[in-house]
Structures are given as structure tokens and as C-alpha cells.
Structure 1
């Protein structure tokens, strides 16, 4: 069951990372196209900062998804920096789900549930056990 939860969590985080990074990247273009000043900054600097944040966030979420997928392949729980990323992702997923409305909350609830399962599951995964026949 852990393997399925890890794969679902990795897929959810990867999709979330792609959506958030692409929206931020587009937002950076909007800021520059309309010469929007974010707290008095130059629009080109604001665009660059937003796009750097988009790429950085996308890369971090893709790395977390890759770590979860690697843990699923190895049939081991996620450890080390992946655990810190999972805790941070649980908080971000909860806030995003509540802030973006009920439609998004359903999807984020699925991702949050799998993330919590992955965080709290400490049992070793032994795979399928052979059936003893008499």
C-alpha cells in the first residue's frame, strides 16, 4: 500500500509543481506586459523575480516527487530531506486547498491524504507474501 501512496503523492506533487510554476511564469509575463509595479519595483525586476521563483519552486517540487518515486521503487519509506519536504508540502497543500475553493480542495485533499499516509507509515513494506498451501 505504501508504494501506491508514494506514487500517487509523487504524481500529485509533480502536477501541483507544474501548475504552480506555470501560473507564476505567466504571472511574471503579465507583470512585465502591463508594466505593473510591485511595491515600487521596476517591472522587469519584478518579472525576473517571479520567474526565478517559478522555476525554483517547480524544480524543488519535481525533486520531491522524484524522491518519493525513488522511495516507491526501493520499497522504503521516504527519509532525510524528503521528510522535511513532505511536512512543508502538507502545510502548503492544506493552505492552497482552503484558499482556492472547494473544486481544488478535493484534489488537494487526495494529495494531502497520501502525503500524511507516507509520513506516518513506519512499517516495512514486504510486498506480496506467498500463500502457504496445506
Structure 2
């Protein structure tokens, strides 16, 4: 039960986070484009392109993580090897962002990132929810009729 609930919650939170991150990257790209800003002499078009590429990459990554979490919720099993690696990478990224955000953005952002981190770790370490199948009885040649 724990993994299923955590997987549903994680999938929904990651989908919401996807929309937020993509919207943030697209907004930053539009602001840089409208203001013709440069970062230490970098071409503004390069910054805009980088922001849009980051929006696509981050959106795809978070959508893939949400898909893995929702698939775990539907199947009531642990993620496979690829899904597990994807969720571990997401957990590490959220941990690093939480550490940085505590100093730069404040406690609410830090706690939000820690919540997502906790949900990701809960999916990875909680036991399967599916009932275990009863052991099959083997028939040996000596006990066969």
C-alpha cells in the first residue's frame, strides 16, 4: 500500500513540477530575448536557445520520471532497472537542488524539494504491494503416483 500511494503522489507531483520548470525556462528565455541580455558577454541568442533546450530536456526527464512512478502505481511493483536508475538520478538532482535552494531561495522551496526527494526514495525502498504467490509444490519422481 505504501509504494502505491507514494507512486501516485510522486507521479502527480512530478507532472506538476514538469509544468512549472518548463514554464520557468520558457519565461526566462522570453525575458532574455526581449531584453537582449547577455551573460558575461555571451550572445543573447545562445542564452535564449540554451533556455529553450533546457526546457525541453528537463520536461522530458521529469515526464519520464512521472511515467515510471505512475507505472509503478498501476503495476504495484518496483520499477525495473532503467526506471530505478531514472528515479535515483531524479532523487540525487532533487537533493542537490534542495541543498542549494536552502541558501538561495528559502525554507519553503527547500521543504518542497525535500518532499519530492522523500517520495522518490519511498518508491525505491518500500516493499512491493502485490500479494506473494503461494509456493508451488514440486513433484518429485519418488512421490509421483
Pairwise same-fold verdict (TM > 0.5): yes
Determine if the alignment matches structure 1 residue 43 to structure 2 residue 40.
no
- The CA deviation string for residues 19-73 of structure 1, in whole angstroms up to 9 with x for no partner, is 1121111101111111112343321222122111112211210121012101110
How many angstroms apart in 1 are the aligned matches of 2:12 and 2:33?
A: 32
Determine if the alignment matches structure 1 residue 103 to structure 2 residue 108.
yes
Mind listing any 5+ residue stretches in structure 2 that lack a counterpart? 132-145
RMSD value over aligned CA atoms?
A: 1.6
Q: What TM-score do the two structures reach when normalised by structure 2? A: 0.78
Determine if the alignment matches structure 1 residue 124 to structure 2 residue 124.
no
CA shift at 1:93, angstroms?
1.4
- 1:1-134 equivalence runs, <5 A: 1-98=2-99, 99=101, 100-121=105-126, 123-126=127-130
Q: Name which of structure 1's ranges 4-13 and 40-49 shifts more when overlaid on structure 2.
A: 40-49
CA shift at 1:4, angstroms?
0.3
CA shift at 1:106, angstroms?
2.1
Q: What TM-score do the two structures reach when normalised by structure 1? A: 0.84
How many angstroms apart in 2 are the aligned matches of 1:84 and 1:101?
A: 29
How many angstroms apart in 2 are the aligned matches of 1:15 and 1:118?
A: 18
How many angstroms apart in 1 are the aligned matches of 2:56 and 2:48?
A: 12
Query: Which one has the largest radius of gyration?
Result: 2
Mind listing any 5+ residue stretches in structure 1 that lack a counterpart? 128-134
How many angstroms apart in 2 are the aligned matches of 1:9 and 1:101?
A: 22
How many angstroms apart in 2 are the aligned matches of 1:42 and 1:105?
A: 33
How many angstroms apart in 2 are the aligned matches of 1:113 and 1:67?
A: 16
